[in-house]
Amino acid sequence: MLLYLVTGWDTDQFLTDIGEATLVMLSVIRNGGLAPGGFNFDAKLRRESTDVEDLFIAHISGMDTLARGLQNAAKLIEDGSLEDLVRKRYSSFDTELGAQIEAGKADFKMLEKKAMEWGEPKVPSAKQELAEMIFQSVL
C-alpha cells in the first residue's frame, strides 16, 4: 500500500494536519493496516528548531496527530454516512454494465451503442459540500 500525501517526510517534519492524518488513517484502516510497513519518524533538527527538545516535541506532536487521525477515521467508518455518499455516487458500478466494465469485458463499440440508446445522461450531484461537512465534523 502506498500512502503519499504531503506529510513532511521530505522536509524532516512530522505530520501535524489533523485532516490529512484522518485521510491517511482512513486508507490504513480500509487496507487492513500497515503491514508490512509503518510510519517514518526520522526527523532531524531543522534550521529553526535547534534544541533536542524540539525534536522530542515533534515526535510527540506527530504521534498525537496520527492518533487523532485514527480516532477520526474510526468515527467516519462507524458513522457510515460518508461511505454511503460514495457508494451512491458510484452505484452504477454495481450494475451489470458496471461489472462488465470493471471486468474488462466491455469494449468501446458496446459502450457507444449503450450511450446512443440511453441518450444524454442525467448527472447527479456528487454532494461534495455534504461530504466535506461530514468529514469536517469529526475533526
- What residues make up the domain containing 50? 1-79
In a shared domain, residues 29 and 18: yes
In a shared domain, residues 63 and 11: yes
Residue 30 has what pLDDT?
92
CB 15 within 8 A of CB 7: yes
pLDDT in tens, 44-88: 666 677 788 888 888 899 899 999 999 999 999 999 999 999 999
Alpha-carbon gap, residue 68 to 56, rounded angstroms? 18
Of 79, 113, 131, the last residue of a domain is 79
Mean pLDDT score of the chain: 87
Of 63, 79, 95, the last residue of a domain is 79
Residue 4 has what pLDDT?
46
In a shared domain, residues 115 and 47: no
> Residue 49: how many CB atoms within 10 A of its CB?
16
Q: Where are the alpha helices (DSSP H) in 7-122?
A: 18-30, 52-79, 81-89, 96-102, 108-118
Q: pLDDT band at 11, cuts 50/70/90?
A: low
In a shared domain, residues 62 and 125: no
pLDDT at 112 over 80: yes
pTM of the model: 0.77
